[in-house]
């Protein structure tokens, strides 16, 4: 090859390299290897970028950065809008508010309900539990007892607490809350309870009123002040003791028995109101009521429950759908003291219940406990564990049915116990996500259908009556009534429309007064120039909270 040709080729090659770099810089191309989602440049707090300077922002902001504007890239990513987009960022001009992508919060409102499935009458008619008196929110106790739907035949009053001396205190909110512990408020409550109990059950079931001992907030290191007027108790105000986190101060079985007898002499002296006790000991830390129950006190409660059989009491428990919680009642269950063992199929996820052996931190179990714990294996569900309690396996069984049918391999020994299901009272109940599922959102028509075709579910119930009546449009009641009558509901559940989307409401203001002009973006507000000083841009958002006013 001639020298002249070689020089020409080298020259073309050098020119090609120069053109390549010129084109790459002008078009904003950036070579990024792999799928690294972090900005390929240094970053800083957006608030540190000068007003008027360009910024390339990334959402969500890193948790370590408290600044509301998140993390802004510098260097290549902030070289212009196209570069920012190449990096996967959100370009804006400082002085304008950054607009994060909308946060979609899952809600039950609008959760589809089944077309009306045929729900057959269940015989014998199942007991339906309704918890009452201390629900979350503003609806606690806001239903008169005379207005409780007749599908409920077991009324559970929440909650009965105790102190280290074995004194008992009944907390009831709403329409029957104690008023300075006056005799009038107590008498009104007693009369209402008697009237509810004396009203015949239209489905031929026996009616019961139980006192639920415990609740999620009843914990040894987080006990409310007992020296207030918010309790029905035989203990005079100012003389209540507390619950210590020291296990040695747990009341003895004698104190528990004597304290309860004194409370009943005060609250139900004729013994015609209260029929029994529901145990709802919750929590997971070392000082929680559930683990206190298990540490040494399970024998206290076995003797306590045995003692009050003199009143012909019946007993239930409400374990959470969780290995530890269900196992915590094992010794009492094995003693054949529970008439009902009703599992809370809400708040907890299907992943929290399986076939793992009982842990040593559940001392309520013993050497005779099943080697496979609760005995739940999810293999037939396709996904292990299922996403929600209404997911079905290859045999058409929902997850909650599967647990009730298979829990405890030695359950044949518990011949006196009925196993049941507790669900939320409405689709307004709080939501827990598990692998994308909404575990507290129930299709009540489908729920009633499944229960009607399952001979192993003897009891159903809801937390709580107030949720069902005041927030759930009686959806639970109307669907469960089909189990008792076999007649299709005339008011099937309908999915309610979700609340209107008000996440973007913008307005332009001048001198602090809005002229009514609605604008899509902060930038378009700035473009609406008017004479005079004091122009202010305002953006109002419902979620997250409102932004503060800023001068443009």
Residue 277: CATH number of its domain: 3.20.20.80
Kindly state whether residue 67 falls inside one of the protein's structural domains.
yes
Whole-number pLDDT of residue 45: 57
Whole-number pLDDT of residue 538: 44
Region of 435 (left: φ > 0; alpha: ψ -120 to 50; beta: rest) is left
> Do 90 and 147 reside in the same domain of the chain?
no
Task: For residue 319, give the nearest of 331, 306, 302, 304 by alpha carbon.
Answer: 331
Whole-number pLDDT of residue 30: 34
Is 552 a residue whose pLDDT tops 50? no
| Domain end position, chosen among 485, 514, 542 | 485
Neighbouring CB atoms inside 10 A of 74's CB total 18
> Do 353 and 204 reside in the same domain of the chain?
yes
> Do 258 and 179 reside in the same domain of the chain?
yes
pLDDT band at 87 (very low <50, low <70, confident <90, very high): low
Q: With 0-12 CB in 10 A as exposed, 13-18 as middle and 19+ as buried, what is 30? A: middle
Kindly state whether residue 6 falls inside one of the protein's structural domains.
no
CA distance linking residue 372 with residue 410, whole number of Å: 10
Structure tokens at 445: 């028509």
> Do 301 and 449 reside in the same domain of the chain?
yes
CA distance linking residue 267 with residue 273, whole number of Å: 9
Kindly state whether residue 289 falls inside one of the protein's structural domains.
yes
Domain count, the chain: 3
165-169, 421-425, 461-465, 540-544 — which is least confidently predicted? 540-544
Kindly state whether residue 490 falls inside one of the protein's structural domains.
no
Q: How far is CA 60 from CA 44, 56, 87, 504, in A?
A: 14, 13, 14, 18
Q: How far is CA 38 from CA 28, 49, 90, in A?
A: 18, 19, 13
> Do 230 and 324 reside in the same domain of the chain?
yes
Beta strands across the sheet bearing 535-540: 513-514, 505-510, 535-540, 550-551
Mean pLDDT of 216-242: 70
> Do 422 and 455 reside in the same domain of the chain?
yes
Q: Which long-range contacts (CB under 8 A, 24 or more apart) does 404-408 make?
A: 404/343, 404/454, 404/456, 404/457, 405/454, 405/456, 406/375, 406/376, 406/377, 407/326, 407/343, 407/374, 407/375, 407/376, 408/330, 408/333, 408/370, 408/374, 408/375
> Do 434 and 355 reside in the same domain of the chain?
yes
Q: 3-state class of 527 per DSSP?
A: helix
Q: With 0-12 CB in 10 A as exposed, 13-18 as middle and 19+ as buried, what is 311? A: middle
* More confident of the two residues 12 and 206: 206
Whole-number pLDDT of residue 248: 64
Structure tokens at 139: 């609806």
CA distance linking residue 546 with residue 548, whole number of Å: 6
pTM, two decimal places: 0.70
Q: Do residues 501 and 142 touch, judged by C-beta distance below 8 A?
A: no
Q: Do residues 290 and 243 touch, judged by C-beta distance below 8 A?
A: no
> Do 90 and 131 reside in the same domain of the chain?
no
Mean pLDDT of 70-88: 66
Kindly state whether residue 457 falls inside one of the protein's structural domains.
yes
Whole-number pLDDT of residue 335: 87
211-215, 311-315, 377-381, 405-409 — which is least confidently predicted? 405-409
Whole-number pLDDT of residue 46: 60
Domain of residue 541, residue span: 505-551
* More confident of the two residues 492 and 144: 144
Angle at the Cα of 213 from the Cα atoms of 335 and 475, rounded to 5 degrees: 100
* More confident of the two residues 545 and 41: 41
114-118, 245-249, 419-423, 475-479 — which is least confidently predicted? 245-249
Neighbouring CB atoms inside 10 A of 351's CB total 15
Q: Do residues 475 and 114 touch, judged by C-beta distance below 8 A?
A: no
Whole-number pLDDT of residue 384: 81
Is 253 a residue whose pLDDT tops 70? yes
40-54, 328-342, 414-428, 520-534 — which is least confidently predicted? 520-534
> Do 217 and 74 reside in the same domain of the chain?
no
> Do 185 and 334 reside in the same domain of the chain?
yes
Is 118 a residue whose pLDDT tops 90? no
Kindly state whether residue 33 falls inside one of the protein's structural domains.
no
Kindly state whether residue 476 falls inside one of the protein's structural domains.
yes
CA distance linking residue 7 with residue 25, whole number of Å: 28
> Do 151 and 194 reside in the same domain of the chain?
yes
Is 103 a residue whose pLDDT tops 50? no
Whole-number pLDDT of residue 333: 87
CA distance linking residue 32 with residue 21, whole number of Å: 16
Is 367 a residue whose pLDDT tops 60? no
Q: Do residues 403 and 299 touch, judged by C-beta distance below 8 A?
A: no
| Domain end position, chosen among 84, 101, 118 | 101
Whole-number pLDDT of residue 408: 79
Q: 3-state class of 339 per DSSP?
A: coil
170-174, 226-230, 347-351 — which is least confidently predicted? 226-230
Whole-number pLDDT of residue 504: 37
Kindly state whether residue 2 falls inside one of the protein's structural domains.
no
Residue with tokens 């639920």: 212
Structure tokens at 292: 């206190």
CA distance linking residue 16 with residue 197, whole number of Å: 94
> Do 89 and 136 reside in the same domain of the chain?
no
The 10s digit of each residue's pLDDT in 183-219 is 678 999 999 999 999 999 999 999 999 999 988 777 6
Which DSSP state fits 535? E
Whole-number pLDDT of residue 276: 98
Neighbouring CB atoms inside 10 A of 551's CB total 9
Whole-number pLDDT of residue 550: 38
Mean pLDDT of 166-179: 88
Is 146 a residue whose pLDDT tops 90? yes
């Amino acid at each position: 090859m001639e020298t002249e040709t070689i020089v020409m080729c080298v020259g073309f090659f050098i020119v090609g390299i120069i053109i390549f770099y010129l084109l790459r810089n002008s078009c904003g191309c950036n070579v990024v290897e792999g799928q690294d989602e972090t900005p390929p440049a240094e970053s800083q707090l957006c608030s540190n970028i000068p007003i008027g300077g360009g910024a390339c922002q990334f959402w969500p902001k890193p948790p370590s950065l408290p600044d509301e504007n998140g993390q802004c890239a510098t260097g290549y990513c902030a070289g212009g809008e196209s570069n920012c987009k190449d990096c996967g960022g959100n370009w804006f001009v400082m002085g304008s508010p950054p607009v994060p992508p909308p946060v979609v919060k899952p809600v039950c409102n609008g959760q589809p309900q089944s077309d009306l499935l045929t729900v057959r009458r269940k015989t014998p008619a199942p007991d339906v539990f309704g918890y009452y008196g201390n629900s979350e929110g503003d609806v606690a106790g806001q239903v008169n007892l005379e207005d409780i739907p007749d599908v409920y035949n077991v009324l559970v009053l929440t909650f009965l607490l105790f102190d280290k001396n074995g004194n008992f205190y009944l907390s009831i909110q709403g329409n029957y809350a104690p008023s300075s512990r006056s005799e009038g408020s107590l008498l009104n409550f007693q009369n209402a309870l008697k009237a509810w109990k004396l009203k015949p059950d239209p489905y031929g079931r026996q009616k019961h009123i139980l006192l639920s001992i415990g609740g999620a907030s009843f914990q040894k290191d987080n006990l409310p002040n007992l020296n207030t007027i918010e309790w029905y108790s035989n203990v005079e105000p100012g003389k209540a003791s507390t619950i210590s986190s020291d296990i040695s101060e747990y009341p003895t079985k004698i104190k528990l028995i004597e304290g309860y007898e004194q409370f009943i002499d005060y609250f139900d002296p004729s013994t015609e109101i209260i029929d029994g006790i529901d145990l709802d000991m919750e929590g997971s830390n070392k000082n929680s009521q559930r683990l206190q129950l298990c540490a040494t006190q399970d024998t206290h409660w076995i003797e306590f429950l045995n003692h009050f059989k003199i009143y012909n009491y019946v007993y239930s428990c409400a374990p959470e759908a969780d290995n530890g919680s269900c196992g915590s009642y094992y010794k009492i269950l094995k003693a054949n003291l529970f008439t009902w063992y009703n599992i809370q199929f809400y708040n907890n996820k299907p992943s929290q219940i399986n076939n793992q052996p009982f842990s040593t931190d559940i001392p309520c179990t013993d050497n005779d406990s099943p080697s496979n714990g609760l005995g739940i294996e999810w293999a037939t569900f396709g996904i292990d564990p299922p996403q929600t309690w209404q997911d079905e396996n290859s045999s058409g069984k929902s997850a909650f049915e599967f647990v009730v049918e298979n829990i405890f391999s030695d359950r044949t020994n518990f011949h006196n116990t009925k196993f049941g299901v507790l669900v939320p009272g409405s689709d307004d109940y709080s939501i827990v996500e598990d692998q994308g599922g909404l575990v507290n959102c129930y299709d009540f028509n489908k729920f009633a259908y499944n229960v009607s075709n399952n001979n192993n579910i003897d009891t159903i119930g809801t937390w709580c009556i107030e949720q069902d009546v005041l927030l759930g449009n009686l959806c639970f009641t109307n669907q469960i009534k089909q189990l008792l009558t076999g007649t299709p509901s005339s008011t099937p559940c309908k999915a309610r429309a979700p609340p209107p989307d008000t996440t973007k409401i913008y307005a332009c203001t001048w001198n602090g007064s809005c002229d009514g002009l609605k604008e899509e973006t902060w930038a378009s507000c700035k473009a609406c120039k008017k004479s005079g000083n004091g122009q202010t841009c305002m953006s109002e958002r419902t979620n997250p909270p409102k932004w503060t006013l800023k001068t443009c």
